[in-house]
Amino acid sequence: MANPVRVKAGYTRAIDFKHGCVEMKHGSGGRAMAQLIQQLFVAAFDNEFLRQSNDQACFQGSNERMVMSTDSYVITPLFFPGGDIGSLAVHGTINDIAMSGATPSYLAASFILEEGFALSDLKRIVDSMAQSAMAAGVPIVTGDTKVVERGSADGVFITTTGIGKIAEGINISGENARPGDKILVSGLLGDHGIAVMALRENLSFQTSIQSDTAALHDLVANMVAAVPTIHVLRDPTRGGVATVLNEIAQQSAVGMMLYESKLPMRAQVNAACEFLGLDPLYIANEGKLIAICGADDAENLLNAMHKHALGKDAAIIGEVIEDTHCFVQMQTRFGGSRVVDWLSGEQLPRIC
């Protein structure tokens, strides 16, 4: 955290996390900022690196290849069934690291806070981040906060950066899909997108669907242990499965054939999509991954996934095919096939 000066107990009044709100002074580099860092961030994320109160975290490197990834999190609403922007920010970056087959080591977190944002909400978010990081075993070792004037941000924006290391012999990349490979998904699709959309103003419909936000590195470790030659891993977040598979098809210069009847999905997600005129293949996930591996390894990989709580609904959903056009297609439950194109623009609920 940026230059946190130790605050003497009793010298300053304790922060009122119940009624207080973010003020410009919390980002000005003075006593108020130091106090916020100590009493909120350091207290929650508590680890040996933060306790040193330096602007950086210093740790031993390794001889293995390192992986680094960064992502910014902005979401409305900040709190949703199954998670919040804090858990999302921790899981998302851990997942981005894990999709290379790496073991995530450390995270950094940076906050842009809007003047007037309730400290109670901020504390809830920070506690949720701390809990998620603790559960994942990936500490947040350095960070930063800035405060912007009211109206210049939407409550809180969080950027997390992670690093991790990859074991020898693992080569997982979006350009490795080969014709004949099988495509697997780790679980039920569309939960996050629908859980969040159900809360949006004007659309209010009630579901029991919760966001699937989760850290996938442990599942990935099991998968890599079972099948070290996995070709591709990717998490189908924004744009959903359709977008991710189109990206991989382009990168690998191959086509894909999905089987609609094999896609694991809740009836509720399908029904919500039916209400809003949306296609579930384009709905975001925050705790799912797509894996592509050689056909001979697919059953083995599927078994490894089934043994993990986050992979119990895993399924083989399609295969990689030769196609110079790099189309993603789907054999429909109905019996035909159709192209599953890139998402054009934003998915908006429609009436016609």
Chain residues that interact with another protein, rule: CB under 8 A: 202-208, 255, 257, 267-268, 270-272, 274-277, 321, 323, 325, 327, 329, 332-339, 341, 344-346, 348-352
Q: Phi and psi at residue 314, in whole multiples of 5°?
A: -60, 150
Closest distance of CB 231 from another protein, Å: 21
Peptide bond into 77 cis (omega under 30): yes
Query: What strands, in cross-sheet order, belong to the sheet with 103-114?
Result: 65-73, 156-166, 103-114, 140-148
Closest distance of CB 326 from another protein, Å: 12
Closest distance of CB 305 from another protein, Å: 26
Q: Which residues contact 95 (CB under 8 A, 6 or more apart)?
A: 215, 216, 217, 235, 286, 287, 289
Q: Which tokens go with 115?
A: 């003047």
H or E element, residue 136? helix 119-136
The closest of 5, 36, 9 to 20, measured between CA atoms, is: 36
Closest distance of CB 297 from another protein, Å: 21
The closest of 252, 235, 257, 232 to 244, measured between CA atoms, is: 235
The closest of 192, 105, 92, 97 to 132, measured between CA atoms, is: 92
Closest distance of CB 265 from another protein, Å: 11
Closest distance of CB 293 from another protein, Å: 20
Q: Residue 20 or 81: which CB sits closer to another protein?
A: 81
Q: Residue 203 or 295: which CB sits closer to another protein?
A: 203
Between the alpha carbon of residue 79 and those of residues 125, 128, 196, 198, 210, the distances in Å are 8, 11, 9, 12, 11
